[in-house]
Structure 1
Amino acid sequence: MEVRYSEGYAGLLQPQGDGPYPFATALADTYRSHNLTVTAGQSYRAPFIQGGQRWQTLRASETATFDSIGFVPSFSTLEPDELPSHFSSSDSELNNIWRLGARTVLAACFDKGTQPTTWSTSSEGVLVQGQRPALTRKFYAMDPYTLTFESRIETGGTGWAVGFPAATLNGGLLLYIRNDSLTLGYGWSLLNQTSLPAYVLDSFPVSVREGRWLKVETEVADEHLAVTIEGQPIFNVSFSDYWIPGAPARQSYLRGSFGFGPWQDHVARYRNVQATSKNGTVLYSEALTDTSNRLLEEYGVATNLHPVCLDGAKRDRMVWLGDLYHTVRTVASSSARPDQIEGTLDYIFGYQTTEGTLPISPSMGYNPTKAMADARRRDTLNFVLQGDANIPTKAPPGSYGLLDYDVLGLLVYVRHVEDWGWSSWAEANLVHASRISEFIVSQINQTTGLVDFGGFLGPAQGSAIGFCSLSALRSFAKLSFNSTLQTEANRLEKALWGLWDSEKGSFRVSMMDGNISLAATAFAIQSGAIKPNDTEHMEPLLGRLGEIKVAIGGYLDSSANIYDPTATISPNVNGFLLEALAQAGQHHTAVDLMRGIWSRMLNNATTSTGTTWEYMSQTGQPGLSLFTSHSHPWSSAPTYVLPRYAAGLRPTAPGYAEFVVEPQPAAYNLSWATVNQKSPYGLIQVRWNQTSSQLRVSVRAPKETKGGVAVTLRNGTRRVTSLEARTGWQEVIVDQKDV
């Protein structure tokens, strides 16, 4: 019987489903297609989670009858309309756009202990079913070594990896025994998958049998690799014999960790692992017979220790820090699970370096406390997490990767406290946020006054990272009452205005690049550098966005991409702009952007998944084809923008201790809207409707909170009607002739 899985329907038409996904073990199946042998009367349960699964096919080789077929979810099965925090309105399309993000965080956020281990431990050794090799975090080679282990093939073959990840993060060296041959590969897999390159380098004959222990020896050197099985040499090759695009520099093949995992549909057992240096020094020794959680945590396959929100339900299934920027607010505006955000940050904060930086994408399954303890023993507290093995190794300060993700991480903390207040968790983790802010300040160039590091958002000394940093420093300074930090933020803002191009009416990407940046535009507004009433700068800045607007709606990241039809639309970066527009009162532009991008995720039955996509093509399709993560919370901004700005319920003090309701019926073309918002004090409920004569706003809030209803009058003044501190519904009626 063949089984295929997919997040989007089109994956069912491919031999491998919409997979494989070998970037990380990720406590899930690497493969999305399996061939099974099932006998009459037998029950079969898939051993691994299929991340983000929405579709599945079963094809039998002969006529068969199934008594029952079931699906066991590992995440919440609540419908969006059942969630504690909720938005609804007179516009069904906007309601469905809100549901996209709600469903997405339900699929990508998990409770502690719900993502089970993919290994089975026993006194005989670990049993591993076909998956990308899981890597030990206790070993990282910089010099030649010999890896020795024993493996028993239970079904099909066995497999292992060395030099993983390579210096260029292009994967590593993969070795698989399958079909009476030993296949040598380089990359992430033997099967290509979009941005994960795979190269089959060679194949060598072997004669092995199932059910018998094999002693395998792998010699890993600067320029060659050799394998011996049961004392018989299988191959000894030079890396220079193979052409590998994007291969690492000389002496880099051996660098990295090793790990174990057989090929697709194969099952193998492993034990007695040892790594020795050229002079015979034992570098690593492990029997793999411990049945406690210790081995699972070392190899990154332990059942998740924290509640976590991932970058995507299907892919990469890693704890990407910067992605949480939108996730934190989407969770607050839908599932209302602060524990899932706090668990995610606990996991990431566990890896914080002495300089304050954080890892950009640690994998589930490892234990940060033990990883840091290893780092302290080796005196390597400033380290980089090498790939998904979370291996602490010596590295220059600030080499964790995308340093702007630290900036976004600080904003995640701020946004979480704004939504959920100064809880005991927030107080306890203030020190982590403070370290990030100190790191950002330390990276401000004393000559130019700009931020010295580049990253995902843009180049060093650039406007995008600069304004994002300004937003982070300014909001954290306000939250923590830090006047010194506020002064630093003001200095940074002054320097950033040096990137203003008065002729074009926008901020330059950098002093060397005159293009417009979508992220810089968004954060210039969000940070308060450009205020809503600053028409001198706001109008030309928003006007220039027309240069990067695509036909279907939405914007490219930069004007450098306007002539590239393959450039994708990022709902993540467009989400930065969406919130900025709403915050600045540019509601008509905001709702046009919302419909332009997010309605495309709804209205095509062949591509709609009911969740938000990672990227979108300029024709409105999933931007990375089947590889696209179709349940990606970084694309979920409308789910919190709609209740906060269309319906108008926003906190004005942490945790909704104080709040405002500022409806925008005309801008979003709504006749009514409702919001339920869970808060630390209880549920806040807002109901409003507009008729030709009046706007009627009803609010019910916990008596411990303080709220008001705000409207902008015809003369431009903003009127706020305070609500009483009492339980029960309260009503404010606004005469239409006044607004």
Structure 2
Amino acid sequence: MKTFGALALAISVAAAQVPYMQYVLTPKSRTLRPATVYNVNGTVSAAQDLVAGRNANTTFSGPSAVTYDFGKNVAGLVSFNVSSASNPAFIGISFTESSLWISPDGCDATADAGIDEALWWQVQSGGHYAAPRQNERGGFRYLNVYHNTTGNVTLSDLTVYYTAVPNYSEQQLAAGIQTGYFHCEDEQINRVWYAGAYTNEMCTIDPTAGNSLIYLGIVNSTSNITTPLPWYNNYTISNGTAVLVDGAKRDRLVWPGDIAISQPGIFVSSYDMEMLRESLDSLLVLQNSSGALPYAGRPFGTALPIWSFTYHLYSLIDINDYYLYTGNETYIKQNWNIFKQALNFSLSFVDESGMANVTTSADWLRFGMGGHNIEANSILYYTINIGISLAQHLNDTSEFVQTWPDVAANIKASANDLLWDPGMNLYRDNDTGTSLHPQDGNAWAVVSNLADTDRAVNISQALQSRWGKYGAPAPEAGATVSPFISGFELQAHYIAGRPAAAVNLTKLMWGDFMLDDPRMTNSTFIEGYSTNGDLHYAPYNNDPRISHAHGWATGPTSTLTFYAAGLQVTSAAGQTWLITPQLGGLKSVEAGYKTNVGSFSSHVTAVGSGLNVTFSTPVGTSGSVQLRYAGGLANLTVTNIGSRKREVMRRQASSQEMQSRVVTLDGLAGGNYTVLLEVS
């Protein structure tokens, strides 16, 4: 294979120059006003005047209310002015993410039961009123204004100070904070990608504004609460200026499982890696002497010392992802002992079966975790292989490290021997004779490479056959659709070489339902829901508590970039890379992002049964191209469009490549290329 010298294509790092900004949902200013009037109750004059761009002169007469719609999920501190008021006069404000939970009694919920209190003020003419800092609302599309006394009150200048992504200045918001982009000919897919990016931004909060969890362990046993409950977002959960949490409204805590989906999405959209480092540090500092890492960060991880086998491993996956995306050698070296101690603690659960025997039930809200579980062992297998790779990079040949390859091999062999169900073409949940074939374990078996190629294809087909009207079911959590686990299923379909399944699931689940259903925010993604389309999440008793901006639901954002556009980094910050697009029925896909070593982009177009791939990678890097095709005689034309002398190489796919239906180009230097794969 010929290696081309290259001149990298210059891509501006200025976020304002990133293409396709018309899809970006991030506000350009921290001062937000409602977009429309959603509903009016009682006598309200000129309710529309409080909408963006109008001079406010809205009068509430007697008991009355207006629901304002911001048009998308937002977050922040509400304030308003009172032009005139009868005495005494009271104004209340409440919030809700979904139109389903708009209520005259209060907000949607952040606790396990009941609903949250509205904020009330006794107002006077000429007064300015603002929510106290502890009552920052992390996620809402709808804002209700109540007047519950006789007489009249005239309001003006109803605004929200946007508090998400607090580590960016007003100027940066105005210019645009995105460093990555995505585009294809399917507008719904485009909107899904950017809604995922925005969901992760909504889940990036001030570290001093975490959920105080004042009802932790109390409300669970008091499910008949009818009085609205007070709520406070004033707990310090991390150092730094920003932290990534699971949900914008709640829990507003650092969860390692959620980061496993959110961090890749942030990598391809905003590259907010310093914030992610602070988030990970808040978990790693809680490691105990056994090596165990917390189920979640403060205050949950200290108030309720629940341990999760899988979330412990997710912390290690998150460390590796952070290093992969940043190339921060200092960070990985500083945390290598934490990683080793944690992994060796996990390996202490491996028994004579060759697999880990899980003795705790905590997981992503699935039911029945425990035993020789396929999800837990697939994640463990994946994490061990991460550890092996990092140990090689760090030249660690210590005794424990040398045992890791054999342990990984035994897990793979035992899981395939004891848990594979050939009748279902899926893995069983565990080896107790259960009839449960979980979504999480089967998706992870493919993602982790525990399943071989043939089984990966069978799993992909079997999972797709179970889809319902509203998406992919997670039977391990009852009648539930889990956007979190379905994010791993998307990856599994691509890895199995069935990209059309991934595209179809993205449109069915994230596009048709999670984005376009009128009960959703149409801008951010929900935490979970029922297989029949109800906004009920089986692990919860309190439906208004469901988060409609949850980072673990943003899987399509990174998956579309990594697999549809085929733009992957394979070592520190992209020192090595892989271009491996799979259109899955899309006609054209382009994507780009930046890392510490430079900018990466690809533009892939279907040409008959072949592909035209134009890509750019930084000078000083190297990588490979892998192109899948359906079969037939394949011819390849590779053009280095960045060299002083335009270099062209033409060759026919080898017999081995035509048999595997994958054409590979290795040893490419960073630069600008066009690769044309023609199939006859």
Same fold (TM over 0.5): yes
Q: Among residues 417, 425, 443, which one is paired with 1:505 in the alignment?
A: 425
Matches within 5 A, 1:194-593: 264=230, 301-302=235-236, 304-306=238-240, 307-363=242-298, 385-387=302-304, 400-447=306-353, 449-455=355-361, 456=363, 458-481=369-392, 482-497=401-416, 498-512=418-432, 513-532=434-453, 535=454, 537-545=455-463, 548-558=466-476, 561=478, 567-593=479-505
For 1:586 and 1:81, the matched residues in 2 are separated by 35
Deviation of the 1:636 alpha carbon? 0.9
Structure 2 residue runs without a partner (length 5+): 1-90, 393-400, 538-542, 632-657
Contact 2:320–2:386 (Cα < 8 Å) also in 1: yes
For 1:79 and 1:488, the matched residues in 2 are separated by 51
Deviation of the 1:32 alpha carbon? 4.8
Contact 1:108–1:309 (Cα < 8 Å) also in 2: yes
For 2:205 and 2:146, the matched residues in 1 are separated by 31
Deviation of the 1:422 alpha carbon? 4.0
- TM (norm. structure 1) is 0.66
Contact 1:4–1:58 (Cα < 8 Å) also in 2: yes
For 2:616 and 2:452, the matched residues in 1 are separated by 32
* 1:94/1:431 CA distance change after superposition, 3 Å: same
Are positions 1:631 and 2:549 aligned together? Answer: yes
Per-residue Cα deviation, 1:40-84 (whole angstroms, up to 9, x for no partner) = 111111002111122212123443222322211111385998510
Q: Among residues 544, 558, 573, which one is paired with 1:655 in the alignment?
A: 573
* Alignment partner, residue 96 of structure 1: 191
* Alignment partner, residue 12 of structure 1: 102
* 1:445/1:171 CA distance change after superposition, 3 Å: farther
- TM (norm. structure 2) is 0.71
Per-residue Cα deviation, 1:426-474 (whole angstroms, up to 9, x for no partner) = 2212222222211111111235543333432532222221112111112
SS at match of 2:161: coil
Q: Among residues 605, 615, 618, which one is paired with 1:689 in the alignment?
A: 605
For 1:603 and 1:107, the matched residues in 2 are separated by 19
* 1:709/1:319 CA distance change after superposition, 3 Å: same
* Alignment partner, residue 611 of structure 1: 524
For 1:67 and 1:81, the matched residues in 2 are separated by 29
* 1:170/1:511 CA distance change after superposition, 3 Å: farther
* 1:20/1:734 CA distance change after superposition, 3 Å: closer
Matches within 5 A, 1:637-648: 637-648=555-566
SS at match of 1:333: helix
Per-residue Cα deviation, 1:355-404 (whole angstroms, up to 9, x for no partner) = 1111212236x9xxxxxxxxxxxxxxxxx7333xxxxxxxxxxx632222
Deviation of the 1:117 alpha carbon? 8.9
SS at match of 2:600: strand
Contact 2:622–2:670 (Cα < 8 Å) also in 1: no
For 2:435 and 2:674, the matched residues in 1 are separated by 49
For 2:227 and 2:532, the matched residues in 1 are separated by 25
Contact 2:181–2:268 (Cα < 8 Å) also in 1: yes
Matches within 5 A, 1:7-86: 7-21=97-111, 31-47=116-132, 48-60=135-147, 61=149, 62-76=151-165, 78=173, 83-86=178-181
* 1:676/1:544 CA distance change after superposition, 3 Å: closer
SS at match of 1:13: coil
* 1:419/1:20 CA distance change after superposition, 3 Å: closer
Contact 1:132–1:189 (Cα < 8 Å) also in 2: no
Are positions 1:731 and 2:676 aligned together? Answer: no
Contact 2:101–2:544 (Cα < 8 Å) also in 1: yes
Per-residue Cα deviation, 1:489-518 (whole angstroms, up to 9, x for no partner) = 111222212222334433221122132111
Are positions 1:706 and 2:622 aligned together? Answer: yes
Contact 2:119–2:131 (Cα < 8 Å) also in 1: no
* 1:100/1:557 CA distance change after superposition, 3 Å: farther
Deviation of the 1:643 alpha carbon? 0.5
For 2:328 and 2:500, the matched residues in 1 are separated by 34
For 1:690 and 1:676, the matched residues in 2 are separated by 18
Deviation of the 1:326 alpha carbon? 0.6
1:40 aligned partner, one-letter code: S
Per-residue Cα deviation, 1:613-652 (whole angstroms, up to 9, x for no partner) = 1002223343344321000011111111000000111122
* 1:8/1:555 CA distance change after superposition, 3 Å: same
* Alignment partner, residue 376 of structure 1: none
Q: Between 74-83 and 408-417, report the one with greater CA deviation.
A: 74-83
Contact 1:35–1:265 (Cα < 8 Å) also in 2: no
1:354 aligned partner, one-letter code: S
Structure 1 residue runs without a partner (length 5+): 25-29, 119-130, 134-163, 173-185, 194-262, 267-298, 367-383, 388-398, 562-566
Higher share in helix:
2
Deviation of the 1:723 alpha carbon? 7.6
Contact 1:525–1:584 (Cα < 8 Å) also in 2: yes
For 1:410 and 1:70, the matched residues in 2 are separated by 41
Contact 2:464–2:472 (Cα < 8 Å) also in 1: no
* 1:352/1:597 CA distance change after superposition, 3 Å: same
Contact 1:694–1:733 (Cα < 8 Å) also in 2: no
Contact 2:623–2:666 (Cα < 8 Å) also in 1: yes
* 1:601/1:467 CA distance change after superposition, 3 Å: same
Contact 2:443–2:489 (Cα < 8 Å) also in 1: yes
For 1:332 and 1:303, the matched residues in 2 are separated by 22
* 1:79/1:302 CA distance change after superposition, 3 Å: same
SS at match of 1:66: strand
* Alignment partner, residue 506 of structure 2: 594
For 2:424 and 2:668, the matched residues in 1 are separated by 49
User: Cα RMSD (Å) of the superposition?
Assistant: 3.2
2:588 aligned partner, one-letter code: W
Choose 1 or 2 for highest CA Rg.
1
* 1:736/1:616 CA distance change after superposition, 3 Å: farther
Matches within 5 A, 1:133-148: 133=214
* Alignment partner, residue 48 of structure 2: none
Per-residue Cα deviation, 1:559-618 (whole angstroms, up to 9, x for no partner) = x94xxxxx2211111112111221222212222222221111122234233111100222
Contact 1:8–1:609 (Cα < 8 Å) also in 2: no
Contact 1:445–1:452 (Cα < 8 Å) also in 2: no
